[in-house]
Structure 1
Amino acid sequence: MSSSRRSCHNEPNVFCYICGEYTVKKYRKPVTDFVKSAYFSYFKLKIVNDYKPWIPQIVCKMCCEHLRQWVSGQRSRMRFGVPMQWKEQKNHFDDCYFCCVNLRGVNVKK
């Protein structure tokens, strides 16, 4: 392995902490206290804010809105049962989520 570390192909903060999907800039939201509280109430897991480079620090607008609707009683469940689980990658070849996702050609319309 070379002395300089290879970086991820994609920036981690373009992915949602909750669902793990790529999120275009205008639909990114910060992780607020409300999101942390609602996430814990729904999934029984805490949002870890260790500011590690492999943990996204944003949520998508859809996850934020679905949590808000669940808390207010307008929604009975989220669109998935298990949230994304973030772990430190061992390498960028086959263990890094951000490197394995191909974002070429992805934009607001596609």
Structure 2
Amino acid sequence: MSSNKRQYKCKNNPNKFCYVCGEYIFVTPPNFTSTLQSAYRLYFYISPENLGESWTPNVLCNTCKTGLTMWMTGAKRYLSFDVPTIWRQPMCHEVDCYFCLTKIKQHGRHKTVEYAHVNSMSKPVPHSLSVKYPVCPKKNIVNRQNQVIMPNEKSELLASRLQERNLLKSQVKVTFYRSRQKYYAQYYIKKNNVCYCNDIYGLFKEFGEPYDPTEWRLFIDSN
């Protein structure tokens, strides 16, 4: 995100408006972090543009932040629009600046907002029933993994990468049953509740070690 200073001062601070929905933010706004930018890109299939410009907000409202964050975790949480706010550089502050022409009125402890209609800013397009909600990338990856025969080790690695990107809930645990003992179990036998090795030579061969029957000691496991 660019840290360029704004070249002019609008009547209303641009960073009091949400980059996604364009609405005025009454509380301290959260920053449009790289994680939220990735969620924005995946949700709307477009990249956030002109961040850091003097005529573009660099923050989100809590509603949009929560919606994108919950959607990325796989929850059935969606925004109320299919197309976000599109920001363009205004031609003139007096007739084409969204931040200058939007009126914020103070009524005692409360504020009301009268939003401007300008060419430099396209407002969000409300969700249409004819348009399907976007599918969370986590669900896409998991569904694909279910359709493809994938070794357990790679499945575990995939899940680990999902956790690194905060695409899995914190309480999710990833495990699979390991059967490394199957190569050695054939050299053991259980009889009358006693388990013992009945093929010491084969076991040593499995270990890749030479077997010398003169070198041995009695070992009893009392567990």
Query: What TM-score bracket applies, with the shorter chain setting the length?
Result: 0.7 to 0.9
Moved over 3 A (4+): 106-110
Is contact 2:51-2:57 (8 Å) kept?
Answer: no
TM-score (norm 1): 0.82
TM-score (norm 2): 0.43
Q: Secondary structure at the match of 1:39?
A: helix
In the other structure, the counterpart of 1:17 is: 19
In the other structure, the counterpart of 1:67 is: 68
User: Mapping of 1:41-80 within 5 angstroms?
Assistant: 41-48=42-49, 50-80=51-81
Amino acid at match of 1:101: T
In the other structure, the counterpart of 2:195 is: none
Amino acid at match of 2:20: I
- C-alpha change, 1:107 and 1:90, in structure 2 (3 Å) is farther
In the other structure, the counterpart of 1:32 is: 33
Is contact 1:36-1:47 (8 Å) kept?
Answer: yes
Structure 1 residue runs without a partner (length 5+): none
In the other structure, the counterpart of 2:85 is: 84
RMSD between superposed Cα atoms in Å: 2.3
Q: What fraction of aligned residue pairs are identical, expressed as a percent?
A: 34
Larger Rg over CA atoms: 2
Q: Aligned-pair distance for 1:107? A: 8.7
Larger displacement relative to structure 2 (86-95 or 5-14): 5-14
Q: Secondary structure at the match of 1:103?
A: strand
- C-alpha change, 1:6 and 1:107, in structure 2 (3 Å) is farther
Q: Larger relative contact order (C-alpha < 8 A, sep ≥ 6)?
A: 1
2: CA distance between counterparts of 1:45 and 1:20? Answer: 17
Q: Deviations over 1:40-86 (max 9, x none)?
A: 00001112354110011111111010001111222253111111111
Is contact 1:24-1:107 (8 Å) kept?
Answer: no
